Structure 1
Amino acid sequence: MKAKHVLFVISLVAFPLFDAMGQQAFDVIYIEYPPYYFTNNGKPDGYLLSRVSSVFNCARIDYRLMVYPSNRALHEVRTASNTISIGWFKTQDREQFANYSLPLCQARPQVAVYLKKNEDKFAEFRSLKDLLSKSNLKIGAIKGHSEGETVDSIIRNSSDNVILVGAEQINLIAMLGAERFEFILLPPEEVQHLLASSGMNPRDFEMKTLDDIPPGNKRYLIFSKDISDETIHSINTCIAKSHFER
């Protein structure tokens, strides 16, 4: 990996590290996606990062933590060795090149987020499918980022009203505020944090539940295919233990 692309490297020394299984230390990648994982005052932060750190300590896994854009993170898992990335949804495409852990967490159902001044435009719609097929309202979505199979399918079938952007979640909020599109989808637990982080006034925005969005998606660790079943089992055991202890 080129050092200029890496913002954070933890446990990095001048010789290869090895974990409890006798394998070289892992590159563990996260993306900027608050409140789950993000950079705070120059340091990795977020409740899911904290949980993963506890899981790796339990499994006696040595690792180097780094941050990349979402497309680059997936590319690294696909092509590099000893690589793990944090917090991904499960899709058929990703299962072709990555192995999955047990779920780390499950989000609440996503909601439509839009500017309060536009609330009348959303009043008559009760589903994402109707919003995209029976109005001119456009949704902003991150290119290469999955929202889960159900939502991805609805978006694919309504591409005329979808604006894909090469950005991270916090940039998507800013684009919504600048009226690049009319709404985005977010789990409700993320909305306030993202608005505050982007400097937006929460009073300027509304949230709306949509009938055709299923319960929240589960987030997983994904592993490059060369990582052993034994290592994944050790990590899964610690994930299961952390669920039980909560």
Structure 2
Amino acid sequence: MRLVLLILFILNGAAINAWGLPAQAQAQAQAQAQELEKPVLIRYRQRPPYLEKKWGELSGKCGDNVIKAFKKAKISFHTMETPFFRQLAEFQSGDAEVCSIAWLKTSKREELMKFSEPICDDGPWVIVGYKGTISPDTRSVESLLKNPELKVARRAKFSFGETLDEKIEHNKASVISVENPELKQVFDMIQAGRADYTLLPESEFYELAKKQKIHPTEFVVVKADDLKGPHLRYMICSKGVPDSVIKKFNKAISSINP
């Protein structure tokens, strides 16, 4: 009997690691450590002034903060430029373990993705409309959305953010869907008279105007009272990205964006 007890004691001792953990717990801890060490793939599409690739590294209003947070949290990562619709397909499938930067939060998106703490703020948005159709004295975007004769242009699968999306749906506004994800196509459509106006961050409009040689004087640009913000953007991650990684990132980004 003593011999049996001795053998059981030895076998049990072999299953204990240096920290006093059972072998199974040790294996789980090692697996979690490997997950934390696995580089995070950050997909992005260049979108000045939020995301630009300069000197081999992401920069811009959102990009700078994200890269600083990853480095501060000591999370290894690599970046890959990826078209918008491919990114969306990956998150919808739920198979990939990826993150992406500078997304507006909506309840529908939260069903598919994990959201970080805010990474940046757009600042005020503006109404950009067709001259002669949109009055420069417009005080609110809701007054336009209530007008059934006016058509708002929005890129397919894109969002204006939860609040504006709900206002569009509530007012049953006429929406012209632009299939091309490039923002310039929206303004081409407005200039052609196929849509009357669109909504976007003021800084993004003037950055686009500078890079694409769009003349702001050809449009009506209105700073409406109900577009002042905040308009927060987030990093999104697929469901496969460990919560522990997002938690570390959130702690770092919160110290950068108090």
Counterpart of 1:142 in structure 2 is: 155
Aligned twin of 2:104: 89
Matched, 1:98 2:113: yes
State which drifts further: 154-163 or 42-51: 42-51
Which residue number corresponds to residue 16 of structure 1? none
Q: What amino acid does structure 1 have at the position aligned with 2:81?
A: V
- Deviation, structure 1 residue 218: 0.7
Show CA shifts across 1:107-160 (max 9, x none). Answer: 223210124x32x64256432232132252211101111111121012224556
Residues 206 and 84 of structure 1: CA distance in aligned 2, closer, same or farther (over 3 Å): same
Pairing partner for 2:146 from 114, 128, 133: 133
1:228 is aligned to 242
Gaps of 5+ in 2: 1-32
3-state SS in 2 of match to 1:122: coil
> 1:28–1:206: structure 2 CA closer, same or farther, 3 Å change rule?
same
Structure 1 CA distance, aligned partners of 2:159 and 2:55? 28
Helix, strand or coil: the match of 1:96? Answer: helix
Do the aligned partners of residues 23 and 173 (structure 1) sit closer, same or farther apart at CA in structure 2, a change above 3 Å counting?
farther
Alignment-mate amino acid for residue 42 of structure 2: V
Aligned to 1:69: 83
> Counting helix residues as a fraction of each chain, which structure ranks higher?
2
Would the aligned equivalents of 1:69 and 1:168 in 2 still touch at CA under 8 Å? Answer: no
Asked if structure 2 preserves the Cα contact closer than 8 Å seen for 1:108 and 1:188, the reply is: yes
Q: Is the 8 A contact 2:141 2:227 kept in 1?
A: yes
Distance 1:231 1:243 in 2: 18
> Normalising by structure 2, what TM-score?
0.75
Report the CA distance shift for 1:135/1:200 in structure 2 as closer, same or farther (over 3 A).
same
Distance in 2 between the 1:225 and 1:178 partners? 41
Map 1:39-188; keep pairs closer than 5 Å: 45-78=59-92, 79-115=94-130, 117-118=131-132, 121-123=134-136, 125-134=138-147, 136-158=149-171, 161-166=174-179, 167-188=181-202
Unaligned residue ranges in structure 1 (runs of 5+): 1-18
Aligned-pair distance for 1:92? Answer: 0.9
Counting matched residue pairs gives 224
User: Would the alpha carbon gap of residues 123 and 136 (structure 1) be closer, same or farther in structure 2, given more than 3 Å must change?
Assistant: farther
Work out the CA distance in 1 between the residues paired with 2:185 and 2:34. 39
**Displaced runs of 4+ in structure 1, greater than 6 A?**
40-43
Using the aligned pairs only, state the percent identity.
Answer: 29
Check 1:33–1:176 CA distance in 2 against 1; reply closer, same or farther (3 A cut): farther
Letter in 2 for 1:82: E
Question: How far apart are residue 205 of structure 1 and its match?
Answer: 2.5
1:70·1:145 contact (CA, 8 Å) conserved in 2? no
What is the CA-CA distance between 1:28 and the residue it aligns to?
0.7
If the length of structure 1 is used for normalisation, what is the TM-score?
Answer: 0.79
